[in-house]
Amino acid sequence: MANVFASAWFYWAIGIAVGLPLGLVALTEWQHVLQRRQSVLLRPVTILRNYLLPLAALLLLMLEANRVPPHATSVRVVSTLAAFVVLVLMLSGINAALFQSAPDGSWRKRMPSIFLDVVRFVLIAVGLAMIFAYIWGANVKGLFTALGITSIVVGLTLQNSVGQIISGLLMLFEQPFRLGDWLQTPQAKGRVVEVNWRAIHLETSTGLQITPNSVLAAASFTNLSRPEGKHTCEVETVFAHDDPPERVCAMLTRMASELPQRDPSRNPNTIALGGMQYRTKIPLISPAEDGKATARFRRWIWYAARREGLHLDEADDSFSTPERIEEAIFKVVGPTFRLSRDEHEDLVEHARIECYADGERMQRAGETPLGMTFVLAGAVQMNAIMEDGSEVVAWTQEEGSFLGQSTLTRQPVLGSAYAVGEVTAVYVGRDKIAELVQRNPRLLQELGRTIEERRQHVLRALDQTTEVDID
């Protein structure tokens, strides 16, 4: 018995028998704490508890307690397993400490996972070579020499493909764009849907554009999505020499501000470039709206320029002729105001025909109408304003109807009117409308009754009891 207590293996056995359970209990508690906190150190601690600690205990038991020779095969196998677990633990700990816990925007957070995989593979290969060299006595110099020669041969053979891979890795490391960003490249304009080692895939209006990384890395391109919320599209137009630049800029800016694709937090602006050219910058919510916004803007300004007597692309407008005005007055204005033949002829000089594009705003909430508009062709959608500022469709006016009757009371309207399809209308100024109403007092009563009927119609549409005065 005395010999047992005097032996070194006895204390090693007792230490392992007591230390292993205590270590497992301590690491288990630490593991639970990290799991509750969702810490990035959970995986390294799990590897330490489940693999490294038992292997270390087994290795000490074999070497110190059982006195197994270090060069024995069983000891070498256990040592290899323990060394490999140490290597995995080191890689997991470095990854958790440096990259998984990195703050947003830092270079550690921007490090692509491809780079980490490559570095991890190289470290594992070097670590395994060192393990076999020190534990098993293997000669790994010849292996590294063969791998070096092989890598040179493969690199020379696949230099084009390898160049694209390196370009892709460098571009991924720099991260000039992310998935979902819009890019303007020399080849195409589109949204990034995939990035791999060889090429970048852009979703364009004509299909999927695949651009090799080496081509994109060697050329300049524009990331339309950065900085966020700052994208604008530019539209250049041409007007006649005689058109006042201030009126042209005001009209273009006003139409740009009406676009549904515009960013409501920013305002568009127009500048005169000289030589009859103008440039309008339209802030957009997303680069994906470029095409829709440009197409709608060009369509709207075609109508707006003719309404204001401007000459887009130096074109003359001969639509609002006296003959057409007279025909329109006879068709829609005359029946409403019960005009005589002399009044028909007198009104021709005070009226004009206007055209509106589909979706264009004909009347803005909060404005006081300067005259009345009579619908000659098309339909007008009347929207009421809710308490939260949103709009709801109240009703639709067809041919022969009118809007802007509050011009007589000079009160601002609380609703908006939008053209449904192309709308042709006859516009008559406030002074002439007031003159016609003074000649026919009964007409004023009918207009008042029309206003009240529309108010009731709006109330039913909104399903509430608050009075809403919409024109």
Q: What digits encode the pLDDT tens for the residues 312-326?
A: 998 887 778 888 888
Q: Which carries the bigger pLDDT value, residue 390 or residue 287?
A: 287
Beta bridge partners of 379: 420
Alpha-carbon distances, residue 132 vs 55, 126, 127, 128, 159 (angstroms): 18, 10, 9, 6, 32
pLDDT value for 465: 38
Residue 329 has pLDDT above 60, yes or no: yes
Chain mean pLDDT for the chain: 81
Alpha-carbon distances, residue 396 vs 53, 137, 370, 379, 455 (angstroms): 79, 91, 22, 7, 14
Where is average pLDDT lowest: 277-281, 414-418, 452-456? 452-456
Residues 6+ apart with CB under 8 A from 26: none
Q: Which carries the bigger pLDDT value, residue 227 or residue 462?
A: 227
Q: Per residue in 53-95, pLDDT tens?
A: 888 888 888 887 777 787 888 888 888 888 888 888 888 888 8
Query: Per CATH, which fold does 232-307 belong to?
Result: Alpha-Beta Plaits (3.30.70)
Neighbours of 126 (CB within 10 A): 13
Query: Per CATH, which fold does 322-462 belong to?
Result: Jelly Rolls (2.60.120)
Q: Which of 224, 239, 241, 323 is nearest to 283 (CA)?
A: 224
pLDDT value for 160: 59
Q: Per residue in 104-140, pLDDT tens?
A: 666 666 565 666 777 787 788 888 888 888 888 777 6
Distance from the Cα of residue 163 to its chain's centroid: 32
**What residue spans define the domains of the chain?**
2-111, 172-223, 232-307, 322-462
Structure pTM? Answer: 0.62
Proportion of the chain above pLDDT 90, given as a percent: 20
172-223 sits in which CATH class?
mainly beta
Helix 159-174 and helix 141-157: axis angle, to 10°?
Answer: 100
